[in-house]
Structure 1
Amino acid sequence: MTDARGQLLGVLDNAASQQPEKLKVAQQQLKQWETSPDFYATLQDIFYDKSLPINLRFVAGLYLKNGIDAYWRKTAKNAIRPEERAQIRSRLLTSLNEENKQVCSNTMMAIVIDKSY
């Protein structure tokens, strides 16, 4: 999904929008992508990219948390592939040095770390 990072950023921007039409379309697109290979690793990349606007990073983190909750287990329907899980797991502790409390709430990252181990 690395080639689609720009597309994903646009959809996340719409998902953070206050306009109901944009939000609805973005949610539908994200729902379609949630079982795509590397979707969650790309969300994690966006979440960690401090050059991006806070609202995009926050929405990426939220979708990452929800996806890990739903698709992390090997027995889950459309489970995250083992390679992608390993990639996500290897970078998890990077978020512990996040300065922006809005982006990295203790609850959000605790759930991601807990579910992935």
Structure 2
Amino acid sequence: MKKTFTLTHPKIKYDRLIDGVKHDVKKYVKRERNKQLPIDADFWDFDCKFGQTESEAEEVHLAELNKHIDKAAAENLTSFYIEIIAKEGFRQYKSGIDEDDEEEIED
């Protein structure tokens, strides 16, 4: 999803437009997560960007996207840009024994 949301409408109130944007983002993420994973992938990961315009957009974490939308609402922005790209995610496994555990085993 690469979209510039416009938050001006003659009949719809500003807060309702913000709720609509949050709903669209949530619906898109849910739709992408329900797609079948490639064989070697563990989960769906997302690259997200947020900014007033496409050129000003900065990378943000998916979990922080709602905070940025709320911040834009507090600043009364008339539009902002959101980019969410789904990609394959791979788990990073930790080694089974830590340094603290090694000392307990030796004692």
TM-score when normalising by structure 1: 0.27
Higher helix content, 1 or 2? 1
Higher strand content, 1 or 2? 2
TM-score when normalising by structure 2: 0.29
